Amino acid sequence: MSVDKIVEELKKNISAFEKTVETKELGVVLEVGDGIARISGLTKCQSNEMLEFPGNTFGVALNLEEETVGAVILGEYKHIKEGDSVKRTGRILSVPVGENFIGRVVNALGQPVDDVGEVKSKEFYPIERIASGVMSREPVSEPVQTGIKAIDALIPIGRGQRELIIGDRQTGKTAVAVDTIINQKGQDLICIYVAVGQKESKIARTVAKLKEHGAMDYTIVVKAGASEPSPLLYIAPYTGVAMAEYFMDKGKDVLVVYDDLTKQAWAYREMSLLLRRPPGREAYPGDVFYLHSRLLERACRLNKENGGGSITALPIIETQASDVTAYIPTNVISITDGQIYLESDLFYKGIRPALNVGLSVSRVGSSAQTKPMKKVAGKIKIGMAQFKEMEAFAQFASDLDEETKKQISLGQRLTEVLKQPQYSPLPVANQVAVIYAVSNGYASEIEIESIQEWESKLHVFFNKTKSSLMEKITKGEWSDDIEKELKDACIDYSKQK
Amino acid sequence: MSKKRTNKQYAQILWEATKDVKGKDLEEVLKNFVLLLVKEQKFKQSDKIISEFIAYAKKQAGIVEIEVTTATDINKNTLNEIRKVFGGKVEANNKVDKDILGGVIVKTEDKILDGSLKTQLRNLKNKLA
């Protein structure tokens, strides 16, 4: 554009600008402290409305009372004094959303915190929205490939599912979620990682890992660190799901990881107590169930008429001393469609991911599993269950009958093969191949100590020489012919040794 | 413990109690009111209650208080013009704030009418961005 044209355009814009008198309702701060403000006035204020405090600080009206409004302040509150005026904005708390957020690290209000400049966005989504209704949904049909053998085979996750990851501290909960994100390269799934109440160092490490594996190309990180005020920790998961809904409305599939919801519940408890809401069990307010149910209900699989997008939710809950009967864990277990239960005992035994196969379930995911995986996984489920029962007898190895010995040896090899190091997700076809090989006894001659080596060589062998078979399995094809091909391939591999 | 009363409620109580009382009775009522404040440990708040009372009494009498903020001093006539807009009994305060650059901001009890140059420019900036 030439200079003249720009000037003309600018003049046009300026002359078209109408002078308006802004009318805003005003309230006065009565008291302020601990991130909470009581405001008089604001008679027409709505629940969850954004309020403008002096110094470009915003708050949210949460308690609407007879004379006053109780609001939480989003961000720094030290400069707010008694007698300050508070303006209504008329807007329900909402965050900017859009494609430009992909690859960025933002805070709970959608403002970038990664020093790469501002994020341009035209659209705003309210952080609280009613979840999609029954008529717009359909059952899950496509899988989320986590790339973790134990999960994809035994507790598969479908797109649109809510699968809880639960376990004590230091059991690899975040590792499961991060591995899942890393494995989504080229899978047409946008990932949103919501970090709530975590140490800044841990968030930085996670972001660095995601970058290292090229996962930031399709990932948004929403962060509310441990040092941020509790209102931000409380809204961060809602911000994440609002951003996910934007993509879902565009017909895309999204994965949201909430790491973790225990900290969000703590933040909400703190806020509720400061707002003088009556405490209930474990001092949580009465609506702490609704806090999580309304968030996780927003995960869904839409039907074709509604665009066919989906939101898969992977909430994380941290238990204290393996107590899953505490208030928050039981709540979230009952809301979600299954849980991945990680145990510290298994973790220290060297079984990583430290998945407790018996207690972990996926209530809907099996309908989304690909056909080959379904076929080969059926066998190991039975194998693992029988092994669990007989594991105790393993030490009397010499006194056992042949059949029992065989089952124990199979179980030990399955356990070994389901171990997987962090940051190394495995493609489905390779998972199918190795699980098929082990469950059909092609590894029975291999020493347990050298199973890992055997497995990695098997992957190399299959990738090199059986690429057409692998392609078919990746596509989800399965027939007697393919099974025979797989069998022959396993025999070839065993012979080669 | 009885329910905590706000300063506004005390002001209302005082207004109701003193509405139609005169002379000796009024003195008695005020004395009792002060005793009530002492009893409910609200004596410290008396300044605030008084200002709430003034505001409440004005509202009951139909007097509207407005605060007019301008960038420079304005003369009485202009102020009167603004007063007329808000109807009959209006008490107007003038405040000078150079930061608003120009125009006028009128603050009533629970509303703010912002016609300042600063806000206009900000809106223009948002529109052009």
Domain-by-domain residue ranges, chain B? Answer: 7-60, 64-128
Calculate how close chain A gets to B109, using CA atoms only, in Å.
8
pTM of the model: 0.88
- Residue A397's pLDDT is what? 66
Chain A residues closer than 8 Å to B110 by CB: 25-27, 41-43
- In this structure, how many other beta carbons lie within 10 angstroms of the beta carbon of residue A49? 21
Q: Which helix (H) or strand (E) holds A167?
A: strand A164-167
In the set A104, A162, A363, A413, the catalytic residue is A363
Asked if the Cβ–Cβ distance from A42 to B110 is below 8 Å, we say yes
The residue of B111, B118, B121 whose CB has the most chain A CBs within 10 angstroms, and thus the best one to mutate to test that interface, is B111
Residue A146: alpha-carbon gap to chain centroid: 11
How confident is the prediction for chain B on average, in pLDDT?
83
Largest alpha-carbon pair distance within chain B?
67
Chain A residues closer than 8 Å to B123 by CB: 17, 20, 22
- In this structure, how many other beta carbons lie within 10 angstroms of the beta carbon of residue B63? 13
Q: In 3D, which of A111, A90, A88 has the Cα closest to residue A100?
A: A111
Does the CB of B6 have a partner CB in chain A at under 8 Å? yes
Interface predicted TM-score of the whole assembly (ipTM), two decimals:
0.71
Which regions of chain B are under pLDDT 50? 1
Task: Supply angle C-alpha B8, B13, B19, rounded to 5.
Answer: 120
Enumerate residues 9 to 28 of chain B having a beta carbon within 8 A of any beta carbon in chain A.
9
| Omega before residue B47 within 30° of 0, cis | no
Check residue A127 and report its DSSP letter.
S
Dist. CA A460–CA A448, nearest whole Å: 20
- Residue B1's pLDDT is what? 41
What one-letter code names the amino acid at A386?
Answer: Q
Calculate how close chain B gets to A122, using CA atoms only, in Å.
11
- E strands, A209-283, where? 219-224, 253-259
Enumerate residues 42 to 71 of chain A having a beta carbon within 8 A of any beta carbon in chain B.
42-43, 67-68
Asked if A164 and A331 touch (Cβ cutoff 8 Å), the reply is no
List, edge to edge, every strand of the sheet that includes A219-224.
A105-107, A219-224, A190-196, A253-259, A310-318, A164-167, A338-342, A361-362
Dist. CA B97–CA B88, nearest whole Å: 27
Dist. CA A296–CA A95, nearest whole Å: 18
Chain A residues closer than 8 Å to B8 by CB: 40, 67
DSSP characters over B66-104: EEEEESS---HHHHHHHHHHT-SSEEEEEEE-GGG-SEE
Backbone conformation region of residue A210, classed left if phi is above 0, alpha if psi is from -120 to 50, else beta: alpha
Asked if the Cβ–Cβ distance from B6 to A67 is below 8 Å, we say yes
Asked if the Cβ–Cβ distance from B114 to A23 is below 8 Å, we say yes
Percent of chain B at pLDDT exceeding 90: 0
Strand partners, A50: A60
| Helix, strand, or coil (residue A374) | helix
Dist. CA A11–CA A8, nearest whole Å: 5
Calculate how close chain A gets to B113, using CA atoms only, in Å.
5
- The question of whether A363 is a catalytic residue gets the answer yes
Smallest Cβ–Cβ distance between B124 and the set A14, A21, A40 belongs to: A14
Dist. CA A37–CA A33, nearest whole Å: 7
Smallest Cβ–Cβ distance between B110 and the set A17, A41, A68 belongs to: A41
Phi, psi angle pair for A74, to nearest 5°:
-90, 100
The residue of A7, A14, A23 whose CB has the most chain B CBs within 10 angstroms, and thus the best one to mutate to test that interface, is A23
Chain B residues closer than 8 Å to A43 by CB: 110
Smallest Cβ–Cβ distance between A26 and the set B110, B120, B128 belongs to: B110
Please name the residue that has the structure tokens 């720009």.
Answer: A6
Ordered mean pLDDT values, 10 residues apiece, chain A (497 residues): 82 78 86 91 90 92 90 92 90 94 95 92 93 94 94 94 96 95 95 96 96 96 94 96 96 96 96 94 96 96 95 97 95 96 94 91 90 90 85 76 87 92 93 93 90 92 91 91 92 85
Dist. CA A338–CA A323, nearest whole Å: 17
Does the CB of A116 have a partner CB in chain B at under 8 Å? no
